[in-house]
Structure 1
Amino acid sequence: MLTERTSELARISESLADCERGRGRVVLIGGGLATGKTALLDALGDLVGERAALLRAVGSRAERELRLGVVTQLLAGAEPVVRDKVARLAESPLDVRSLEEVGALLLESGGERPVVLAVDDVHLADPESQQALLYLRRRITSARVLLVLTEWERPNLARESAHAELARQPDHRIDLAPLTPAGVAELLDSEDVCATTAFELSGGNPFLLGALLEDGLVVGPHLRRAVLDCLTRWDADFLAVAEGVAVLGDSASPALVAELLAMTARSVGPVLDALGAAGLLRDHHLRHPDVLLESLEPAEAARLHARAAELLHRRGAPAVEIARHLTAAGAVPGRWAMRPLRYAAEQSLVDDPELAVGCLELALNSSEDDGERVELRAALVRAAWRINPAIAARHLGPLADRRDLCWRDAVPVARLRLWQGDPGAAGELLRITRAHAGEPHPREAAELRVAAEWIHGRSLDVEPLNSGDASWQATAGLVGTWTREVPGEVLRAAEHLLQCCAGEVLPDAAAAAVLALDHVGHADRARHWCDALIAQARRQGATTARALIGAARADMSWRRGDLIAAEAQAQEALRLLHPQTWGVLVGLPLSTLILVNSALGRHDTAAELLTRPVPDEMAATTFGIRHLHATGRHHLTSGRTLAALDAFERVAARMRAGDPAIPTTIPWRGDLAQTYLLLGRRREARELVAEQLAGTSGGVRILAITLRVLAACSDPRQRVAVLREAIQLLERCGDRLELARALADLSQAHNELGQLRNARLVLRKADQMAKACQADILSHRLRDSLDAARPEAAPTPAGTPLLSEAERKVAELAARGQTNREIGRRLYITVSTVEQHLTRVYRKLNVRKRTELPAELSRLHDSEESHAVTRVSEGTGTRTSDEATARY
């Protein structure tokens, strides 16, 4: 890589020209680690060409004891007699005469041409070769010799005598530095972000840059190996100092690194300067500390981190800084370490819960005091909750029977009990805590009550959670006001709770609050809070909050008919937390996925989701009802009407006999009524619809769904007005999937009234809405209905199919012996539509009953094939106007 090396090559070329004119020259190339000295020396080959004899050698620490080793390399291409003479000279100490003989051999090696002697890493050459080169240097003033030497740049390290003489006052000194950002951009032939990234990762070091290019401009195996090679090629203390800097991180200083490694600051400082000159350091920090840390043996890494923690503790460093080293060491080197571990856990609970958990687990494993261990376990439950409730559950056992927990420790334990589906144990703990600790903190009490009622209804006795704070008491009743459909009170309570989440994400209570906002018509505020809480949780590393708020966001997307977004959000929620970690709350994202896949026609996927194990305790929670309802929807969309009936009736039994505090966000009456209609139980369907309309709960969406089912129970003339009202409500709440279904039903009503123009217009809108939801099966159904709704062309031109596609499907199923109801379920159309199709089929085929259909359909098929052959032979490609209409 010779980018930004033009002036250096020019100086070497100038010296070569002087050499050709009989004026010997010395060029010394210096630079830091891997800054391109050897690459510049390699360029001599092209520069010299046939103009001179080029002899090359490389100094090596391993060959320093080999007398005249570098001279032997320089004369490797000479005659055997010359090499034998050098070998004999190396057998005894060099004197002036022997040095003169070696010099003569080097000068004569070029014959009639000038001689270029290039020695890489001359500071590592054996002493005898350095003496020979020095002897030659003193005598090349009028000789045609160019001596090109490279050395490592170590300003604070004294040179050996011969090396010092060789490097003293060269004719040209070239100091190589890492490439500049412009040089990196030139090398990459790019000025965009790739060049910036390459410079940041390599520091402009040509050797590292080459490795980075091999890795595709990412930190890969080649770059990692190159970093280690840079450090191990130099003195042994280079690697050790780099490891010390990597271990200390932001705390690294020459004095602290020296103390960590039992070295002197005077010896560490020059190494740091050399690392900086080579581009391996950036602002006094290693560019790739992880490479050094990963290369350390585990035992050595633990020793260094423990030593670093002790040194930082002596200097009064922050507790978090000390704790990071202690957790990396995985050991407590002394009783003094317990305090910084506990302080660090408290300070990092919000912003770095993983560190908090690591500190507390380490302290717990090292503690021998029973009271201290109880405090540490309670703190662990509080901290681990934020990243993985399963970790918190591991520490729940020893706390289960404690009767001396304070509120701060008791609330996280009670919350975990709620997630595990045990409100009784949670309530008992709260009563015990209130008995000996007094009233709870108003905010903690309100949050826990909201979470409890959202998950379990009023299965938990909330009396121990009452406090004297009126504002928080109102907030604590959020789920109750949500159930009573009081939008103003829901807004005030939810906003109060969510605004207090500014410093800490409270996943279960916050999820209940955003869903309550969405349910009572404040969808924009709910989306705002979801986005804000997820962003905050991501910054703080609060995995549990990200997962739960994401699951709530998925539920909101489902109820807007945004199926793809709902699927992605629910899948992300289940990815962040393992399904077994969710406890009873797994019903929230899992139910959403089942509903989405059922709506998208992915019945096998939905069936697989239904086989996933869930906690038995979930059945008694609000999420158990959600899961059971999703099961019924899957059965209904996949044509298993009786199985759907069983699921919906179980949901109905739970909702009627269950807790009145459970928010009625599930359209269970509408789904059950729709199932009754499919089974011909119209009276029971109407009773369910009337029951829903007589109540005041459920919100706009459920009211619209109920009206759509009411329309299906009514005659066509009443149906149109009811469906228009349902459509207005669905447009207001934004549920595109239910809107598409209502529009399809309205189109069908117009069709049955003979209003074919209106039927086609509405159905096209329904089709567009279904496509926007990507509900493919619904789109196919609508296209079939659209084809059925088009007006019949009076005289059918020759060759035009006698039956429409929809009529043909109905006729073929009827010919196979299926009933009108079975045909309707198969094609997703009403029984009335089936009857209309069959009436037209009978008229067109001139048949009177179903048993005549097979023969007539067979003759029709033969006739159409004959017409198709005729059209092909005649080259006609025209379409009727009705066929063109059916394409849109």
Structure 2
Amino acid sequence: MTDRAGSAHPVLPLVGRAEHLEALAEHAEAARTGQPRLVFLDGPAGAGKTTLLRAALAADGPFADMTVLHGSCRAVAAATGYSGVRALFGPLGLTGRRARTSALLDGGARHALPALTATPQEDDAPPDDAFSVLQGLYWLAAGLMADGRPLVLVLDDVHWCDERSLRWLDFMLRRADGLPLLVVAAHRTEADPAAPDALADLVAHHLPAQLRLGPLDTRQVAELTGLVFPAHQPRPAFVGRLAAVTGGNPLRVVHLLTDLRSTGLGPDDAGERRIAEIGGRAVTASVHRMLEHQPDWVGRAARALAVLGDEDTAYLATLAGLSALHVEEAVDILRHAGLVRAGSREFIHDLVGAAVRDTGGEAGTAELRLRAARLLSDIGRPPEESAAQLLLVPDAKDPWALAVLRAAATQAEHRGAPEAAARYLQRVREAEPDDPALLTRLAKALAETDPERSLSLLHEAHALTTDARVRTTTAIQLALTCLSTQRSPQGVQVLTEALDALDAEAGPAPDPAQRELRTLAESVLLIVGADEKSTFPQALRRATRTTEPPGDTPAQRQQLAMLSVLTAADGGRAADSARRARRALRTPDAPLGTWSLLPASLALYLAEEDRAADEALETVLRDSREKAGVWTYALALSTRALFRLENGALADCAADARTALEILGRERWGDTATMAHTAHTSALVARGEVVRAEEALASIKRPGLDRFVWEYHWYLMARGRLRLARGDLDGALETFSACGESMEQAGLTNPVFAPWWLEAACLLGGLGRTAEAREFAERGAGRSERWGTRRALGYAALARGASTPGAAAVEPLREAVALLRSSPARGHEARASLMLGCALLAAGHAREARQHLREAVALARRCGCVALARQAREGLMAAGGRMREITSSPLDMLTDTERTVAGLVAAGAGNREVAQSLFVTVRTVELHLTSVYRKLGVRRRVDLRAVLRADEASSRRPETTDEQSGNG
């Protein structure tokens, strides 16, 4: 019960907590075997959580052979972004010069720097989204486990942890499968959490093991009493009264016993009466009594320490209005009295610090915090440190305080901590409620965490703004927020009105700034208007009235990209759409944004310029990997999967779709995604895996999907194909027809995007209902001629062939094969070859029929369309041909993610590079690669490359013809 200096010290001994220490050892052992764990130490203040943690962290404790990061959250820093993270990672010293040289910050881990640095560089742009910082911290932690050494993150007083740090713990644990990770968080049960929603999410998502530290029983209270009064045998009555008064709380027990000893009393009748007098106010009474018997300057130093924390002596002296010698002596007195820890200037418990502050009264403490905030600012500390003090002062609204809070918000934004920025700006708003610029900035800070409130603030700011230019800027942000909250019609209305007002003010000769602002607003209006069916026709009309910009600025390129995709949607000329898309993507002085790249890639794909479309998507993927932008990465992967689907690259489509689904499955907003699901469903149908396809489609959870332009019709195509594969022909026809009606209603008439009319014509033609099939074929033929690509013309010829009875079907089907062969549509080429072979067989040309049916089999197998290949083989056998059963490729044993990993590794990527590309751990990549090696029977990367090359060559090798084998 004494510190190393020999002074009386009420440090809580580890009494009654042996079983908890054993439980921590068991969880540590599980983490060592790659079973990540989250453990919560729960208990009231003074229950001994910190004491238990210190025992676990001791040299002979259960974490002895593990990498341990230990930190404590502080109430004064609860509003600061990533303060909990800095408490954990601070001892690594990854700031300043070391941040540029440490191997721990190589690769993706460098994105962690804004969270780790006390003062992020304000001349650096804020992260594109907060995810990049979370991802950087994840890679930093993964790097600490790279050699297999387990990592323990111990965070004390987690009830004071800031929201962003808790979100990172959640983020980390979602990706921790197979990692040797243990997270231990100590939580005060009666405290109101600083970030209740984030803490609740952490608990709900990961169901932590709960170690509850309850009250000590009378035997354990007697043991503590014996430690304080070793020369006395405590009477049962005294122990019983002590346990009843303190509730068995170890901190209260120790403070009461220490108070008795300091006043010359013992565990006797007089001590029992003193216990009854103090009651449950043990800690506060003990602290107050100690300070009452000290000179005034000791109390002033103690209160300065309770507000400012473990700071340099000179700063504490300035705040207390004392000399440095007085402060040093005061700290020694407090340490000797057992209020401050040995070897530091931290109070032994935050309840002690609260009791010290209580001696100054509310007004005195508020005044001291204001002075502490100014002191921190004067000595050059980051604005967030001063702001943390100001947030604890109810009426800190003078100009200096508001300026500090604004600066702190800027710092939080550069840190990627929007919750902290919003908290600082909200305090400013209390003083300046009608500042539209402030409301707009606060709305931006809330866009990720509370989009509904963000939207409300933007409406408020927009209503308060009178200047047409500012209103337009606000309307742009408001419209994009409406897009993210699925209220696009509302955004279209506000932005349209703002544009009209801007035009009225600018007149016929706007200045350059007005023109650029107008172009940006126009492009955003097209983006938002193209989201839902109710506003899509309006966006199309606006696009036809818009003068094509030269593409010299980012806003002009964004506008060109949207004009290109709307031209394509309207079924204009493919050449016009592609020309606009290429101009939007021409190499600019500044990087292209997502809203330039993605629309242009869709326009180029529809216009049959696949290489340019792939390059645009690869740019999105590369930038997203670089910036750890998970949303855009998953979106680009899903888009590419849909392109590859229609081009017949089923293996690549499935790999992209599954990778996107795995990434989305780890995100809170993943349920809003649909494109990866629909691509995956259609790929499974083409591969003949109907049951899995049903499961994939059923996993879509987005409400109101039928309101949206692009996703809904891709979904209907997948649903129709699935029904067709199940044999539900009427249901499939109904779904394809519904897709067409919905597209007509929206004004989306491109014949290649979601070619429902082709599917309906082929379905009806196969049933012999050629007259009905012809109606659908004719609906697509004119639009295909107008669009003019080989794919579109091939689709039209294929539909004509399907709707033509008898031998007359042969010629349009020959045309379809020729057109589709010269297009990227390999899957549809195989389908056309199959239909041509069947038509030739029906016309009595068995030998030629076998040739086309064999080509259909080979092409379908090359595409991965197993169901179509089997159908073509059946036709070939019916035509008198011979062919062995359609067997699976060795690669078919791989999951989609394993195939993706195998492809990247075979292309020369290292495990860490693959992991960062897929937003997973190196350990996950290693597990996938081990599985790949086992399934394919290889041991080395060079062998893996050989297997992939052999499979590709096999898929392209022609079968022996019947004529060659003598079966002419």
Normalised TM-score (structure 2) = 0.46
Distance 1:737 1:310 in 2: 70
Instruction: Answer yes or no: is 1:359 the counterpart of 2:421.
Output: yes
Name the CA shift for 1:694/1:711 in 2 (closer, same or farther; >3 Å). same
The one-letter amino acid paired with 2:456 is G
Of the three residues 671, 675, 693, the one matched with 1:588 is 675
- After superposition, the CA RMSD in angstroms is 5.5
2:853 is aligned to: 763
SS in 2 for 1:740: helix
Shift of 1:637: 1.9
Of the three residues 641, 651, 669, the one matched with 2:757 is 669
Higher mean alpha-carbon deviation, 533-542 vs 712-721, is at: 712-721
Shift of 1:450: 3.3
Of the three residues 528, 537, 560, the one matched with 2:647 is 560
Instruction: Answer yes or no: is 1:643 the counterpart of 2:708.
Output: no
Of the three residues 649, 656, 670, the one matched with 1:569 is 656
Shift of 1:726: 2.2
1:535 is aligned to: 622
Name the CA shift for 1:213/1:513 in 2 (closer, same or farther; >3 Å). closer
Contact 1:566-1:592 within 8 A present in 2 as well: yes
Name the CA shift for 1:314/1:768 in 2 (closer, same or farther; >3 Å). farther
Contact 2:648-2:827 within 8 A present in 1 as well: yes
2:458 is aligned to: 399
Name the CA shift for 1:461/1:685 in 2 (closer, same or farther; >3 Å). closer
Shift of 1:592: 2.3
Name the CA shift for 1:659/1:220 in 2 (closer, same or farther; >3 Å). same
Distance 2:631 2:742 in 1: 29
2:747 is aligned to: 659
Of the three residues 504, 517, 520, the one matched with 1:444 is 520
Name the CA shift for 1:326/1:629 in 2 (closer, same or farther; >3 Å). farther
- Could you report, residue by residue, the CA deviation over 1:842-875 in whole angstroms, capped at 9, with x for unpaired residues? xxxxxxxxxxxxxxxxxxxxxxxxxxxxxxxxxx
Distance 2:487 2:818 in 1: 43
Higher mean alpha-carbon deviation, 612-621 vs 683-692, is at: 612-621
Shift of 1:664: 5.4
Instruction: Answer yes or no: is 1:774 the counterpart of 2:864.
Output: yes
Name the CA shift for 1:736/1:484 in 2 (closer, same or farther; >3 Å). closer
Instruction: Answer yes or no: is 1:479 the counterpart of 2:565.
Output: yes
1:545 is aligned to: 632
Distance 1:743 1:610 in 2: 29
SS in 2 for 1:477: helix
Distance 1:435 1:491 in 2: 30
Contact 1:323-1:359 within 8 A present in 2 as well: no
Distance 2:694 2:857 in 1: 27
Instruction: Answer yes or no: is 1:601 the counterpart of 2:688.
Output: yes
Distance 2:873 2:793 in 1: 28
The one-letter amino acid paired with 2:518 is P
Of the three residues 743, 746, 755, the one matched with 2:836 is 746
The one-letter amino acid paired with 2:430 is E
Contact 2:387-2:404 within 8 A present in 1 as well: no
Distance 2:393 2:543 in 1: 40
Residues matched between the structures, number: 540
Name the CA shift for 1:64/1:536 in 2 (closer, same or farther; >3 Å). same
Instruction: Answer yes or no: is 1:714 the counterpart of 2:804.
Output: yes
1:425 is aligned to: 490
Name the CA shift for 1:499/1:486 in 2 (closer, same or farther; >3 Å). same
1:784 is aligned to: 874
SS in 2 for 1:623: helix
Contact 1:550-1:573 within 8 A present in 2 as well: yes
Distance 1:491 1:781 in 2: 36
Name the CA shift for 1:400/1:755 in 2 (closer, same or farther; >3 Å). same
- Could you report, residue by residue, the CA deviation over 1:40-87 in whole angstroms, capped at 9, with x for unpaired residues? xxxxxxxxxxxxxxxxxxxxx97999xxxxxxxxxxxxxxxxxxxxxx
Contact 1:411-1:448 within 8 A present in 2 as well: yes
- Could you report, residue by residue, the CA deviation over 1:227-265 in whole angstroms, capped at 9, with x for unpaired residues? xxxxxxxxxxxxxxxxxxxxxxxxxxxx99887899999
Of the three residues 810, 814, 824, the one matched with 1:724 is 814
Of the three residues 458, 463, 480, the one matched with 2:537 is 458
The one-letter amino acid paired with 2:526 is V
Shift of 1:410: 1.7
The one-letter amino acid paired with 1:623 is E
Distance 1:553 1:693 in 2: 27
Shift of 1:399: 3.1
Name the CA shift for 1:714/1:577 in 2 (closer, same or farther; >3 Å). same
2:722 is aligned to: 634
Distance 1:534 1:738 in 2: 28
Q: Which has the larger radius of gyration?
A: 1
SS in 2 for 1:415: helix
Q: After superposition, where does 1:846-865 map in structure 2 within 5 Å?
A: none
1:521 is aligned to: 608
1:49 is aligned to: none
SS in 1 for 2:747: coil
Shift of 1:628: 2.3
Contact 1:584-1:615 within 8 A present in 2 as well: no
Shift of 1:549: 2.7
Contact 2:657-2:676 within 8 A present in 1 as well: yes
Name the CA shift for 1:632/1:306 in 2 (closer, same or farther; >3 Å). farther
Contact 1:584-1:617 within 8 A present in 2 as well: no
The one-letter amino acid paired with 1:673 is A
Of the three residues 770, 780, 800, the one matched with 1:692 is 780
Shift of 1:327: 8.8
The one-letter amino acid paired with 2:835 is D
Name the CA shift for 1:332/1:748 in 2 (closer, same or farther; >3 Å). farther
Shift of 1:715: 5.2
**Structure 1 unaligned runs (5+)?**
1-60, 66-192, 198-210, 226-254, 266-295, 794-803, 807-880
Shift of 1:618: 3.5
SS in 1 for 2:537: coil
SS in 2 for 1:458: helix
SS in 2 for 1:455: coil
Shift of 1:764: 3.5
SS in 2 for 1:521: coil
Contact 1:419-1:584 within 8 A present in 2 as well: no
Shift of 1:373: 7.1
2:481 is aligned to: 416
Of the three residues 204, 211, 216, the one matched with 2:148 is 216
- Could you report, residue by residue, the CA deviation over 1:587-616 in whole angstroms, capped at 9, with x for unpaired residues? 433432332232222323333344433322
SS in 1 for 2:463: coil
2:290 is aligned to: none
- Could you report, residue by residue, the CA deviation over 1:341-386 in whole angstroms, capped at 9, with x for unpaired residues? 656766997x87x33564235433664145467545533554666x
- Could you report, residue by residue, the CA deviation over 1:432-480 in whole angstroms, capped at 9, with x for unpaired residues? 4346655671342243133135323224598699999943476653334
The one-letter amino acid paired with 1:355 is A
Q: After superposition, where does 1:68-107 map in structure 2 within 5 Å?
A: none
Q: Point out which structure has higher relative CO (alpha carbons under 8 A, 6+ apart).
A: 2
1:871 is aligned to: none
Shift of 1:519: 1.1
